[in-house]
Amino acid sequence: MDKVVRSAADAVADIPDNASLAVGGFGLCGIPSVLIQALLAKGVTGLDVASNNCGVDDWGLGMLLRERRIARMTSSYVGENKEFARQYLSGELEVELTPQGTLAERLRAGGAGIPAFYTRTGVGTQVADGGVPWRYDSEGNVSVASPPKEVREFDGLDYVLEHAIVCDFGLVRAWKGDRHGNLVFRDSAQNFNPLCAQAGRISIAEVEELVEPGELAPNEVHLPGIFIQRVVPLTAEQAADKRIERRTVRPKLEA
């Protein structure tokens, strides 16, 4: 039951080239930055990543992207990463843009063993009709476009069929975790991290504070350890190394 591994490098040692990854976090909040750096050092390439966004140019998944380690992204928002836009528009990166709530439910469904579901989101748009550019060629022409999706009527309303996401590995970051893999997330880090852990066949959690089994009250646990196969305890320095995606301050008020 003890799922603790010695280091992030050990935790990602069996992630191969061309693996699919579900990576938690929202913006730069709650991203598994230490596991991402271990992947970068390992040298894996050709990755197929599902994550709400792709970090920024010099942090998070943006570090893997910069080194051309990511072949395909399934994301909701990518606006803070200039290199992402450049690779996508130049035909170096395949991108499946997905509405944020739909992406969350696709990940949750994958973890729950639900192969697909119907949603109103995207009905009457290219999300349902097909034609959203997934990949461009070097001349700026669309070389791969999204296919049309099944649309079905329920109680007089149309719904589009969305398929679940299941990945080879899930990478997440938690505020607290015990040796059995039970996790507690803090504030907005709770949004995509539990879903990405559920969507991974093998899921790895880096935890800012490791506690012993029994120290977490059952009602505190956001994600039970059944979804986690490996736990990486962070050092104090690693836990404190957090970036802000965009810092905004107000002018100082006059006395």
**Averaged over 200-206, what is the pLDDT?**
98
Between β-strands 70-75 and 47-50, what pairing exists: parallel, antiparallel or unpaired?
parallel
Calpha distance 116→164 (Å, rounded): 5
pLDDT for 182 equals: 98
Calpha distance 116→48 (Å, rounded): 20
Calpha distance 143→135 (Å, rounded): 6
**Averaged over 117-128, what is the pLDDT?**
96
Q: How far is CA 53 from CA 45, 100, 170, 210, in A?
A: 18, 10, 15, 27
Which pLDDT tens digit goes with each residue over 165-176? 999 999 999 999
**Averaged over 202-230, what is the pLDDT?**
97
pLDDT for 249 equals: 83
pLDDT for 251 equals: 83
CATH 3.30.365.10 for the 1-115+164-234 domain, yes or no? no
Residue from 68, 7, 15, 6 nearest 39 by CA: 15
Cα 180 from chain centre: 22
Which pLDDT tens digit goes with each residue over 11-65? 999 999 999 999 999 989 999 999 999 999 999 999 999 999 998 888 999 999 9
pLDDT for 255 equals: 66
- Residue 202, pLDDT > 70, answer yes
Domain ranges of the chain: 1-115+164-234
Residue from 120, 203, 196, 144 nearest 165 by CA: 196
Q: How far is CA 15 from CA 20, 147, 165, 255, in A?
A: 9, 30, 18, 57
77 and 29 in contact (C-beta within 8 Å)?
A: no
- Residue 88, pLDDT > 90, answer yes
The β-bridge partners of 154 are: 157
